[in-house]
Chain A
Amino acid sequence: MPDENDNWLEPLLEDHMSREPAEFDFQQWANKYPDEAQLLNRGYEDSGQTTKTRIQFLWRCIMQSRVTRYSAAAVVALAMALVLLGPFGTPGNGGVVLADVREKVADIETMVIRGTKTFMHPGDDGDVFEFDGMKCEFDLVKHFSKQHGFTEKAYVHGNLFYRITFNLPKQQTLIVFPPYKKYLRFASTDEVAKILEKFATPNGVFDLLLASDYKELGRDKIDGVEVEAFEFQSPGPFREILPKPVFDIQSYTGKVWVGIEEQLPIRIEGNLVIGKSLMTVFNELNLHEVNVLDKYNIELDESIFDPDPPEGYTEFTFSDILQVIPAEAKAGAAFMGLVPAGFLFWKRRRKRATTRPT
């Protein structure tokens, strides 16, 4: 039934609002959006998306992930806090009784671990990965406390490059970058705390290692201490921790030396092959880490696990990273692993410095 207003209003509106139909020029649009046009030309089945679309896709993965959606910042922080090779695992049972080792590990109140962490290009004689002239070799010091949490400090040529602090009672994680006087801090939700616990507590890492395949390598001596060696491999348990697009652990092999007398892991070496993923900004990298048990059951000052940023530091926001990621990925020069935010921020600072008017 016609509206009572139709007779007079419709012609009026037609006259007032009518326009020539908007013409769409596909070529012009394609010129304006080259990445999208390229995507259309290549087809969506091709996994080689443009950097822009790939970043967007990966970012969606992060946000959609059950694990990571709670805190985007936590994703970066978790990758930085990967304590995959804490000296807690021993999968063997020959001279070393697994149950005894586990029990001993569970009883340890505190530990100090020292070691190294080196990122390399793939290949047998892969060079150490460099970022802006800096070789990515870190000296590590880790403190574990069943009561307070853990910290990881990474040094380059004796200078502290980053410190990660996970305060267990306060469920707070703090990452500081002394060279830039920047910090990243977030409260751990239950989910995040659960993940951190997997990495950061002896029992958590122990359980992860126990889920791996292993073989006995026999007895050996390290610094005069009689040990039993084991080799383990299988990224399975580790793969589940972070989504593949975020941190793609393709293979994981490691060796554990357990002191016969102490019934404790004394040294762990691990090798990870990390595929192109967000945390490596699409670089394939190998990570070699060595952890040596330095001391255990010693008094550790509670202040070591202080989750508050030092005075004079300013917050490093996650949006800073996002702004930089596409450019860095395109250049193929960026590196994100255990210290991605630091590298990226460093890169930005250098750029700013070079563009600042004199």
Chain B
Amino acid sequence: MTGLDDQTLVQRALRADPESFGELCRRYYPALVAMADSILLDHHLAEDAAQEALAEACRGLKRLRRPESFGSWLGSICRNVAKDMLRQLPKQRNLGRDPPRQEPACEADYRAAALTEAVQQLPPHQREVIFMRFYNEMSYRQMAKVLGSTEQTIDGRLRRAKKSIAAYLRRKGLGSHGVL
């Protein structure tokens, strides 16, 4: 079943073959979690969002007009679910009531904190590709499928994202010529 394309799996799922839908879930779940994490910045919530997205996709599967585009359709659902969840998060998260930051204990901590900040300051579509690429080492092809873009577009976004991260780190005194 793992060798079957999305279109076949969708068609089978529509004809009372739950395992086909299970295969689609297994195929896209890691990408969905990465995508949701890029929005929610919380791994556990990201898993919840990915599962909810799969449930929504299950409910709406019959409406999918182009089964071959299942991946990008699912990706859009997941993005929306994660955004909805973000809106519903307790307000204190958005009001800066997070626990007070601890001073980095060592250089590695400082670097990790700077990297986290560098990724968080990216625009959503760039943060998305960074998460997907480095979270699970997804290939450009896999990413393109979920994002509904071309590999060239993904490559361009990744380059711009990395450039932006590098610039941020340099401003923090880190980078290829810094303390790293």
One of B54-62, B75-83, B84-92, B95-103 at the interface: B54-62
Contact across chains for B47 and A7 when beta carbons are under 8 A apart: no
Q: Whole-angstrom distance between the alpha carbons of A149 and B68 in the complex?
A: 53
Residue from A14, A22, A24, A37 within 8 A of B134 (CB atoms): A14
**Chain A residues with Cβ under 8 A from B94's Cβ?**
none
Count of interface residues, chain B, beta-carbon cutoff 8 Å? 45
Residue from B22, B55, B137, B159 within 8 A of A33 (CB atoms): B55
Main secondary structure of the interface of A (DSSP, over half): helix
Interface status of B74 (Cβ within 8 A of chain A)? no
Contact across chains for A24 and B29 when beta carbons are under 8 A apart: yes
Interface status of B162 (Cβ within 8 A of chain A)? yes
**Chain B residues with Cβ under 8 A from A32's Cβ?**
51, 55
Residue of B nearest to A28 (CB): B51
Q: Quote the shortest CB–CB distance from A219 to chain B (angstroms).
A: 55
Residue of B nearest to A40 (CB): B18
Q: Quote the shortest CB–CB distance from B139 to chain A (angstroms).
A: 13
Residue from B15, B26, B130 within 8 A of A17 (CB atoms): B130
Contact across chains for A13 and B165 when beta carbons are under 8 A apart: yes
**Chain B residues with Cβ under 8 A from A311's Cβ?**
none
**Chain B residues with Cβ under 8 A from A24's Cβ?**
25-26, 29-30
Interface status of B141 (Cβ within 8 A of chain A)? no
Q: Quote the shortest CB–CB distance from B12 to chain A (angstroms).
A: 10
Main secondary structure of the interface of B (DSSP, over half): helix
Number of A-B contacts (CB under 8 A): 103
**Chain B residues with Cβ under 8 A from A10's Cβ?**
162
Interface status of B143 (Cβ within 8 A of chain A)? no
Q: Quote the shortest CB–CB distance from A87 to chain B (angstroms).
A: 44
Residue from A17, A22, A36 within 8 A of B59 (CB atoms): A36
Q: Whole-angstrom distance between the alpha carbons of A79 and B3 in the complex?
A: 51
**Chain A residues with Cβ under 8 A from B21's Cβ?**
40
One of A41-49, A249-257, A269-277, A320-328 at the interface: A41-49
Q: Quote the shortest CB–CB distance from A181 to chain B (angstroms).
A: 33
Q: Quote the shortest CB–CB distance from B89 to chain A (angstroms).
A: 20
Residue of B nearest to A8 (CB): B176
Within 8 A of A (CB), among B130-167: 130-131, 134-137, 159, 162-163, 165-166
Contact across chains for B134 and A18 when beta carbons are under 8 A apart: yes
Contact across chains for B14 and A26 when beta carbons are under 8 A apart: no
Residue of A nearest to B175 (CB): A8
Q: Quote the shortest CB–CB distance from A64 to chain B (angstroms).
A: 11
**Chain A residues with Cβ under 8 A from B105's Cβ?**
none
Q: Quote the shortest CB–CB distance from B3 to chain A (angstroms).
A: 18
Q: Whole-angstrom distance between the alpha carbons of A23 and B30 in the complex?
A: 7
Interface status of B39 (Cβ within 8 A of chain A)? no
Within 8 A of B (CB), among A1-39: 3, 5-10, 12-14, 16-19, 21-24, 26, 29-30, 32-33, 36-37, 39
**Chain A residues with Cβ under 8 A from B134's Cβ?**
13-14, 16-18
**Chain B residues with Cβ under 8 A from A56's Cβ?**
59
**Chain A residues with Cβ under 8 A from B55's Cβ?**
29, 32-33, 36
Contact across chains for B135 and A3 when beta carbons are under 8 A apart: no
Count of interface residues, chain A, beta-carbon cutoff 8 Å? 35
Q: Whole-angstrom distance between the alpha carbons of A284 and B21 in the complex?
A: 34
Interface status of B40 (Cβ within 8 A of chain A)? no
Contact across chains for B30 and A21 when beta carbons are under 8 A apart: yes
Interface status of A53 (Cβ within 8 A of chain B)? yes
Within 8 A of A (CB), among B112-141: 112, 115-116, 119, 130-131, 134-137
**Chain B residues with Cβ under 8 A from A42's Cβ?**
16
Q: Whole-angstrom distance between the alpha carbons of A22 and B137 in the complex?
A: 12
Contact across chains for B136 and A19 when beta carbons are under 8 A apart: yes
Contact across chains for A39 and B47 when beta carbons are under 8 A apart: no
Q: Quote the shortest CB–CB distance from A295 to chain B (angstroms).
A: 52
Contact across chains for B30 and A41 when beta carbons are under 8 A apart: no
Q: With A36-B58, A43-B16 in contact, is A29–B115 under 8 Å at CB?
A: no
Q: Whole-angstrom distance between the alpha carbons of A42 and B59 in the complex?
A: 13
Contact across chains for A9 and B162 when beta carbons are under 8 A apart: yes
The 8 A-B residue pairs with the shortest CB-CB distance, nearest first, are A43-B16, A24-B29, A26-B22, A40-B18, A17-B134, A36-B58, A22-B33, A8-B176
- 24 A–B contacts from the bound complex (CB under 8 Å): A8-B175, A8-B176, A10-B162, A12-B115, A13-B165, A14-B134, A14-B137, A17-B119, A17-B135, A18-B135, A18-B136, A21-B30, A24-B26, A26-B19, A26-B25, A29-B55, A33-B55, A36-B55, A36-B58, A40-B13, A42-B16, A44-B61, A45-B14, A46-B16
Task: Known A-B contacts: A5-B176, A9-B166, A24-B29. Give 17 more (CB < 8 A).
Answer: A7-B176, A8-B176, A9-B162, A10-B162, A16-B115, A17-B119, A17-B135, A18-B134, A22-B33, A23-B29, A32-B51, A41-B16, A42-B16, A44-B14, A44-B61, A45-B16, A56-B59
